[in-house]
Amino acid sequence: MPKQIISASEMERYGYCPLSWYLDSKGVDAEGKEVDTGLEKHKEIGDSLKNLLVEEKKSRETSNTLMTVVGMIMTVVTVALIILWLSNDTLRQNLGVILLIIGIGWMLVASFFLYSLLLSTEKIDKLRDDYKLGEEKIESPDELTDETPVLKSSKYNLAGRPDYIINEGNQRIPVEVKTGRRPQAPFFSHVLQIGAYCLLSEEEFNQKPKHGQIRYGFDSEPHKVNWDAKLRRIVLEKLDEMNDINAGKMEAHRNHKRVGKCNSCSRRKNCPERLTE
């Protein structure tokens, strides 16, 4: 029987508590106000990024159109000047003047595109400042290929879609944006998820990213998570465990002794191993 595909967000759930992931795979939904708020906030983040990507695409198109119009103006004006310079008869001189007027008309069109480009650039700068993105070239996984909106690994039977990817030279750095306050160090479950994205990025783009990034909202600096041998080993170990549980060779159980963790777990209501005070 072919192995079930595991997603990077499932790995996050597994990293939080294997039982939470297992219950989810058996159709026990997460419940609670925090789940709805988290989903809403995550959607807002996705929409903000989409705005930025749409604006950048628009800006590139406007810039290309502007260059075409400038090229046309230069051609028309050059031809007009040559005609005016070389010809003595009135008919040709009139043609030269008409071409000059057309050139001036195109200059008005060019100034409109230039104005749009300036507005668009201003908007992009503001969005990039708001999201602390600097000059990084970012991509949405939706645009990677037409057919594959998610990153896939046939080798590891893994799939996933980071919130965005930074295109750095020949490396693709996956970034996951989380809601909530920025902790001093990222949570293990989030590290596991970004590790899964690094593994996917490595296979999809044939280039190992040096790190992945976890961001808690857009107001704070990202955490860089090194994609090293240690994290790779942990990701592969957890993947093996999940595959074994799916195949019935192993059982999923609570992986901690923290009451507080169970209290804030969105599946506590239906969990047979939840801790209570």
Q: How far apart are CA 255 and CA 79, in angstroms?
A: 78
Q: Does 274 bind ligand SF4 (CB under 6 A)?
A: yes
Q: Does 161 bind ligand SF4 (CB under 6 A)?
A: no
Q: How far apart are CA 46 and CA 24, in angstroms?
A: 23
Residue 136 identity (one-letter amino acid): E
- Report the nearest approach of ligand SF4 to the CB of residue 236 (Å): 23
Q: Does 219 bind ligand SF4 (CB under 6 A)?
A: no
- In the sheet that holds 151-153, the strands lie side by side as 6-7, 158-160, 151-153
Q: Does 241 bind ligand SF4 (CB under 6 A)?
A: no
Instruction: Decide whether 52 or 271 has the Cβ nearer to ligand SF4.
Output: 271
| End-to-end alpha carbon distance in the chain | 43
- Report the nearest approach of ligand SF4 to the CB of residue 262 (Å): 3
Binding range to ligand SF4, per CB under 6 A, among 16-24, 112-120, 169-177, 189-197? 16-24
Instruction: Decide whether 99 or 271 has the Cβ nearer to ligand SF4.
Output: 271
Q: How far apart are CA 269 and CA 262, in angstroms?
A: 10
Strands 151-153 and 137-139: unpaired
Using CB under 6 A, pick the residue from 31, 36, 143, 273 that binds ligand SF4.
273
Instruction: Decide whether 16 or 216 has the Cβ nearer to ligand SF4.
Output: 16
Using CB under 6 A, pick the residue from 8, 20, 80, 202 that binds ligand SF4.
20
CB neighbour class for 24 (10 Å; exposed up to 12, middle 13-18, buried from 19): middle
Q: Does 242 bind ligand SF4 (CB under 6 A)?
A: no
Quick one: the chain helix, strand, coil %, rounded to 5? 55, 10, 30
Binding range to ligand SF4, per CB under 6 A, among 5-13, 136-144, 174-182, 264-272? 264-272
Query: How far apart, in Å, are the Cα atoms of 223 and each of 46, 134, 192, 218, 264?
Result: 19, 15, 13, 12, 24
Instruction: Decide whether 11 or 166 has the Cβ nearer to ligand SF4.
Output: 11
Instruction: Decide whether 26 or 155 has the Cβ nearer to ligand SF4.
Output: 26
Contacts of 212 by beta carbon, 8 Å cutoff, 6+ apart: 162, 173, 174, 175, 176, 194, 195, 197, 198, 201, 224, 225, 227
Using CB under 6 A, pick the residue from 6, 8, 11, 19 that binds ligand SF4.
19
The DSSP 8-state label assigned to residue 256 in this structure reads -
Using CB under 6 A, pick the residue from 52, 159, 225, 265 that binds ligand SF4.
265
Binding site for ligand SF4 (CB under 6 A): 17, 19-20, 254, 261-262, 265, 267-268, 271, 273-274
